[in-house]
Amino acid sequence: MTYNLETLPKDLEANVLFLYGDEVSDRSLPLSRRELALVKERRADKRDFLLVFDRLPYRFYLLSFDSEKPTPESQEGLRRSAMKVLKRLEEDKVADLTVTGEGILDDEMAAVVEGLTLADYSFDRYRNKEAYHLATLTIDDRFMQPAALEASKRLWNRIFWCREWVNLPVQDLNAAAFADELQSIASDMEEVKCTVMDKKQIESLRMGGLLGVNRGSVDDPRFVVLEYKPRNLKNQNDPICLVGKGIMYDTGGLNIKPGDYMQEMKSDMAGAATMASVLFAAADNHLPVHIVALLPMTDNRPGFNAYAADDILTMYDGTTVEVINTDAEGRLILADAIAYAAKNYHPRLIIDAATLTGAAVRAISTFGIAAMQQHAADPFNLLKIVGDQVFERLVEFPMWSEYDEYIKSDVADLRNSSTTPQAGTITAGKFLAHFAGEVPYIHLDIAGVAYFTKPQHCYRMGASAYGTRLLYAFLQMQDMIEK
């Protein structure tokens, strides 16, 4: 999509999306008395709706919204309404759209443009039939500044690539291919360093979790470390570490997934894709924050000498782990990366993102992120506030000491899964928190929101990159705090 910022003439002839949130703008509406009466009649019943008026050969799309709602709800409503607008544009075969309004805020315009951008994405590379997309989006320059648009475009580009990576099947994006792609991107960025560790290097680090999960696969694992260290850096020695689960495909291993539970398991590397995208977006927009992304990558297969229940793995930090279930593999590779981050980078904060547990989906469905924290109450509270603002919301689960009993082992230091069905999301988080030690730590279980099996919010079916906007906005807040 091409974006244009323009000063629009009063006699504009184009397909127009007009944002209408307040009756104060009635006099400025380019509508006849009859059309305005229809708008008022509809708003008396419901404030959120889309009306279409013919202006042959063009159309005038009036998007009514409730500007009196709390700001985050109003903006999220506009993002979601953008999906409805896009569907109508597709029906009308409209390729070029101009967005304007009266009596609206810049942030309301930004929400609509962002919604149109997120809704316009679809996974097209294997289709022979060309899919519908907006070609150009012209924005009234009264409501958006060029610098803000450019910064948003750079973020949206990283969101696009995050979704593309997660949607790609493992046949075309295994651990080695993904690592090579990340290294190629980083090589074009002055302030980003990429280190790719192969199997021999991972063996030398004694990362028993990553190596154990990889034993059933024909493809070797990778451990990728991306470091963004800008010149205008204030926090020279205390980076924020972002750890992302990179299970490129998850069969469940020897505890193989039943029925259709293996469908969409190409998305089990969404955590790694998200964390890489957040770091690249921060670098694109030169945020003055030191960030390290640590991405362990492998697929989980039942072949060769696949690790099995009852195996005992020795992790990077020396912790021994009894394997209870080979389908609880994500926490094993994350544990090595978290321990590596804590030891080698002395971070002020570790945040991980992972499609970790079905229990998270059962607990809160597909409406937010199941989250936990250890020694990180203040940054967690800030992250929660930011999540409410961008509407990628967190639900905090407890880290009570009673849950430690669920991951105690009789034959090792820990076990990788509880033998009871209760509190599956929490026990996974408790397991990971062990490897962070005393470092402030936040765990984000994105299992319910990383990949949608049907259109939802402002996303079509497939990968959403949910969490990318959240973490990017959080890093922007770190910039403000340091100033």
93 noted as active-site residue = no
Say how far apart CA 144 and CA 107 lie, in whole Å: 8
Helix (H, G, I), strand (E, B) or coil at 471: helix
> What's the CA dihedral at 65, 69, 72, 77 to 10 degrees?
-30
Region 308-337: mean pLDDT is 98
Query: pLDDT band at 442, cuts 50/70/90?
Result: very high
pLDDT at 395 over 70: yes
Whether residue 316 contacts residue 205, with contact meaning beta carbons closer than 8 Å, is answered with: yes
Bridge partners of residue 224, in order along the sequence: 196, 295
Bridge partners of residue 136, in order along the sequence: 2, 96
The amino acid occupying position 223 is: F
Question: Is-same-fold flag (2-144; 154-482)?
Answer: no
Among the ranges given (12-26, 127-141, 269-283, 411-425), the one the predictor scored with the smallest mean pLDDT: 12-26
Say how far apart CA 441 and CA 380 lie, in whole Å: 9
Region 291-297: mean pLDDT is 98
Instruction: Please report how many Cα atoms fall inside a 13 Å half-sphere around the Cα of residue 37, on the Cβ side.
Output: 3
Q: Which residues contact 238 (CB under 8 A, 6 or more apart)?
A: 290, 346, 347, 348
pLDDT at 24 over 80: no
Selecting among 163, 331, 460, 469, the annotated active-site residue is 331
- Cβ atoms < 10 Å from Cβ of 154: 16
pLDDT (0 to 100) of residue 409: 97
Whether residue 218 contacts residue 249, with contact meaning beta carbons closer than 8 Å, is answered with: no
pLDDT (0 to 100) of residue 168: 98
Bridge partners of residue 293, in order along the sequence: 226, 242
Say how far apart CA 152 and CA 143 lie, in whole Å: 14
pLDDT at 25 over 80: no
Question: What does the mean pLDDT of the chain come to?
Answer: 95
Selecting among 142, 153, 257, 348, the annotated active-site residue is 257
Say how far apart CA 483 and CA 480 lie, in whole Å: 5
Could you tell me what percent of the chain has a pLDDT over 70? 98
211-231: per-residue pLDDT in tens?
999 999 999 999 999 999 998
Report the CATH number of the 2-144 domain.
Answer: 3.40.220.10
Report the CATH number of the 154-482 domain.
Answer: 3.40.630.10
84-137: per-residue pLDDT in tens?
999 999 999 999 999 999 889 999 999 999 999 999 999 999 999 999 999 999
pLDDT (0 to 100) of residue 478: 85
pLDDT (0 to 100) of residue 27: 72
Region 425-443: mean pLDDT is 98
Say which residue the tokens 């810049």 belong to: 106
Helix (H) or strand (E) run with residue 284 in it: helix 270-284
Say how far apart CA 447 and CA 268 lie, in whole Å: 8
Among residues 341, 322, 344, the alpha carbon closest in space to that of 332 is found at 322
Name the pairing type of β-strands 58-64 and 49-55.
antiparallel
432-to-13, 328, 338, 373 alpha-carbon distances in Å: 58, 12, 8, 11
pLDDT (0 to 100) of residue 481: 64
Say how far apart CA 99 and CA 121 lie, in whole Å: 19
pLDDT (0 to 100) of residue 236: 64
pLDDT (0 to 100) of residue 166: 98
Among residues 253, 399, 226, 361, the alpha carbon closest in space to that of 313 is found at 253
215 noted as active-site residue = no
Torsions phi, psi for 439 (to 5 deg)? -70, 135
Say how far apart CA 446 and CA 89 lie, in whole Å: 31
Rg of the chain over Cα atoms, rounded to whole angstroms, equals: 24
Whether residue 215 contacts residue 307, with contact meaning beta carbons closer than 8 Å, is answered with: yes
Structure tokens at 175: 């651990």
Task: Indicate left, alpha or beta for 230 from its phi (over 0: left) and psi (-120 to 50: alpha).
Answer: beta
Concatenated DSSP letters of 100-130? EESS--HHHHHHHHHHHHHHH----TT-SSP
- Strands, sheet with 49-55, edge to edge from the N-terminal-most edge strand: 2-6, 136-140, 96-101, 16-20, 58-64, 49-55
Helix (H, G, I), strand (E, B) or coil at 195: strand
107-to-110, 111, 151, 465 alpha-carbon distances in Å: 5, 6, 14, 21
331-386: per-residue pLDDT in tens?
999 999 999 999 999 999 999 999 999 999 999 999 999 999 999 999 999 999 99
Helix (H) or strand (E) run with residue 72 in it: helix 71-91
Structure tokens at 184: 């190629």
Structure tokens at 427: 């026990």
pLDDT (0 to 100) of residue 22: 79
Region 62-67: mean pLDDT is 94
- Cβ atoms < 10 Å from Cβ of 437: 15
pLDDT (0 to 100) of residue 482: 58
Q: Where are the beta strands (DSSP E) in 203-283?
A: 222-228, 240-244, 246-250
157-to-37, 284, 294, 371 alpha-carbon distances in Å: 41, 10, 21, 26
Among residues 372, 350, 358, 351, the alpha carbon closest in space to that of 417 is found at 358
Domain boundary assignment for the chain: 2-144, 154-482
pLDDT (0 to 100) of residue 10: 82
Angle between helices 146-167 and 270-284 (to 10 degrees): 160
pLDDT (0 to 100) of residue 28: 74
- Cβ atoms < 10 Å from Cβ of 96: 15
Structure tokens at 101: 């309004």
Which letter does DSSP use for residue 401 in this model? G
